[in-house]
Amino acid sequence: MSDWTTEELSAVTAAEEVEVTPADADGAPLQSVVMWAVTVGDEVFVRSVRGTKARWWRHATASARGTFTAGDVTREVAFEPVGEGAQNQAVTDAYNQKYAAQPDQFRQPMVEGASLAATLRVTPV
């Protein structure tokens, strides 16, 4: 497994939105979804605003593979659910900081409720 480069992390941090494309069991790309992403240290995270019931999230966790695009950066990635605890709280803090200028109606669902259980670590493969 490889790591994110400094330039890639900067691209994720700078991107207002990213594109996530889960893969099916055979590795074929499924429908892409545009969403918010944050970095915490040298790791990248995404959340489903609709929680674990969202189609893209179910596909991403079933195959644990896909692609991730932020700006000019596109990487093959693995998706790993993040449980409750300090790391998930750090992700919440990162969402609150990065998207502070967004209206509460958009930001709040990403930092509370069902989205918390739908946090995924995105790791280059």
pLDDT (tens digit per residue) in 60-103? 999 999 999 999 999 999 999 998 889 999 999 999 999 999 99
Fold of 6-124: Pnp Oxidase; Chain A (2.30.110)
pLDDT digits (tens, 9 = 90+) for 27-49: 999 999 999 999 999 999 999 99
What ranges do the domains of the chain cover?
A: 6-124
DSSP H or E stretch at residue 123: strand 119-124
SS3 state at 8: helix
- Token readout for 118 is 């739908």
